[in-house]
Amino acid sequence: MPSTTSFSDGTSRVRGRVLLGTTVLVLLVAIAGLAAYLTRGGRTPAKPPTPPASSATALPPSTGTTTRVTGPGGRGALPVPPATHDPVAFAKAAAVALWSYDTRAYSQPELLAALHRWMTGEAKYADRASVDAQVPSPVLWERMADQGQHTTATASEAHFPASFTQALQADPGAITTAYVYAVTVTGRQSIAWNGSPHGGAEQRATTLAVQCRPDQPCSLAGVLPNVAP
């Protein structure tokens, strides 16, 4: 396997050190004390609570269906956000978008620009740095492009972390300030490059902050620094 294909392994440690934007983190702490739970394991996800009556739609748990990002001729297409009011469905699509790239089909700036279109337009809730950290640097991207490196991804499961649901059960009205939900997504990323169409695969997991106001489709607020169970 080419050395550049270690991007996913190398950045997994980096992701653990990336801090979520101050405003989003403060929001989540205020709603839950969620940050206190981010590094705790062994919790069983609770049933997602019913949202406040002002919410436009119920928020069902994941159905376990798979989300993919693919393009014409087997090449990756730039990811386009879905128009949904379901934070779980949106988080699955966003995770696949973050785990997928194709150096043969577009440039690193083009991928960043596409991912930025997934993000909330409310600046105080948008942590662009945490999203940018999921994409290879321009220098690494060029090295990967020399070998035609590309990935595809699937999202097999998503849920509200137990700490988040517990917090909302304790204070259901807290979500109505910014309507930012924490969603943990698990899935699989497959990596390939020139001469090795089936180079390797690994399991992936991430916790995303998703904003879903009742009067507009969901958008991405940021990527949390640790996976919340």
Helix (H) or strand (E) holding 115: helix 108-116
3-state helix, strand, coil in the chain (%, to 5): 40, 20, 40
Q: What is the pLDDT of residue 198?
A: 77
Residue with more model confidence, 3 or 38: 3
Q: Are 94 and 226 in contact (CB under 8 A)?
A: no
For the chain, the structural domain boundaries read: 3-223
Question: Which of 4, 5, 2, 3 lies closest to 190, judged by CA?
Answer: 5
The rounded distance, in Å, linking the Cα atoms of 172 and 137 is 40
Per-residue pLDDT tens over the stretch 194-218: 988 777 899 999 999 999 999 999 9
The rounded distance, in Å, linking the Cα atoms of 219 and 136 is 22
CA distances from 172 to 3, 39, 152, 156 (A): 48, 24, 37, 28
